Amino acid sequence: MSKAAEQYPVGIIGGTGLTTLSGLEITGERPVETVWGAPSAPLVEGSLGDQPVVFLSRHGNPHRIPPHQVNYRANLQALYEAGVRTVVGVNAVGGIHPDMGPAHVVIPDQIIDYTWGRPSTFFEGDLEEVTHIDFTWPYDADARETLVAAAASLGVSFSDFGVYGATQGPRLETAAEIRRMERDGCDLVGMTGMPEAVLAAELGMRYVCLGLVVNWAAGKSDHIITMAEIEEAIDKGMSSVKGMLEMSMAG
């Protein structure tokens, strides 16, 4: 993310299991308001190593906003106004690909969006012109490379590819829905990857996803999905995620 320290702060949007970031040297916490409303939580400003960072808890702190009710537009707008131009979205996901089991880390390279009814563009209302942004490659190549290098040097179990299927939630999927997603080419399933990625793109920000697999997707194991299983994988895998964030900011 940073070659020496990037001049702009890097935004980190923490998801399930990452409502606070322990390695962060905090310099301030700011409740903010945007034209799209309030973001999920106050912006936590500080630094990781030499890199200025703005941390935002996607589901609020404490965790209380479900994926379909996150104000993604306010979150991205608030980060943009705080000077952020590169965003790392940390996402808990379910694993579909056979190599992507609990506690595995994935830096996906593509998205399929199955969400519906979420405000997912800044370009609406009384516009002077219609805008269609390019979204061929939803994740920033350089930021992906930085995360991949960090995962490799930390010896983390990770994959440097993957199609993130974004579902509506808050319920988990049926086994048939996961089979359909697999036929579509999805390797991972999560509820928060969209519209976060596209809103970052609309603001011209670089965006990358750091996915932590917290369960086998529905029908991919011999048991139903439990919160206990998810919490266990978060406990096991979140130190890899934090290590990767610290290392990638250190440049």
- Binding site, residues? 16, 58-59, 191-192, 215-217
Nearest CA-CA partner of 36 in 115, 133, 113, 119: 119
CB of 80 to ligand HPA, least distance (A): 26
Of 17 and 52, nearer to ligand HPA (C-beta) is: 17
Beta carbons within 8 Å of 232's beta carbon, 6+ residues apart:
102
Two tokens at 78? 């608030």
Classify 72 as helix, strand or coil: helix
Q: Could you tell me if 18 and 41 are in contact, meaning their C-beta atoms sit under 8 angstroms apart?
A: no
The residue nearest ligand HPA at its CB is 94
92 lies in the binding site for ligand HPA (CB under 6 A): yes
Q: Pattern of binders to ligand HPA over 132-171, x per CB under 6 A?
A: -----------------------------------x----
Of 138 and 165, nearer to ligand HPA (C-beta) is: 165
CB of 37 to ligand HPA, least distance (A): 24
- Crossing angle of helices 141-154 and 227-250, in 10° steps, is 100
90 lies in the binding site for ligand HPA (CB under 6 A): no
Specify the residue for token string 């805008």.
131
Of 77 and 167, nearer to ligand HPA (C-beta) is: 167
Q: Which helix (H) or strand (E) holds 181?
A: helix 175-184
182 lies in the binding site for ligand HPA (CB under 6 A): no
What residues are designated binding site for phosphate? 16, 58-59, 192
Distance CA 245, CA 147 (A): 8
- SS3 percent helix, strand, coil of the chain, rounded to 5, is 25, 25, 50
Distance CA 206, CA 248 (A): 15
Only segment of 38-46, 56-64, 195-203, 213-221 that touches ligand HPA (CB under 6 A): 213-221
Per rule CB under 6 A, count of chain residues that contact ligand HPA: 12
Of 19 and 51, nearer to ligand HPA (C-beta) is: 19
Distance CA 45, CA 55 (A): 6
Residues 94 to 113: which contact ligand HPA by CB under 6 A? 94
Only segment of 43-51, 86-94, 137-145, 202-210 that touches ligand HPA (CB under 6 A): 86-94
How many residues in the chain? 251
Q: Could you tell me if 92 and 212 are in contact, meaning their C-beta atoms sit under 8 angstroms apart?
A: yes
What residues are designated binding site for substrate? 191, 215-217
172 lies in the binding site for ligand HPA (CB under 6 A): yes
Give the footprint of ligand HPA on this chain (CB under 6 A).
92-94, 167, 172-173, 189-191, 214-215, 217
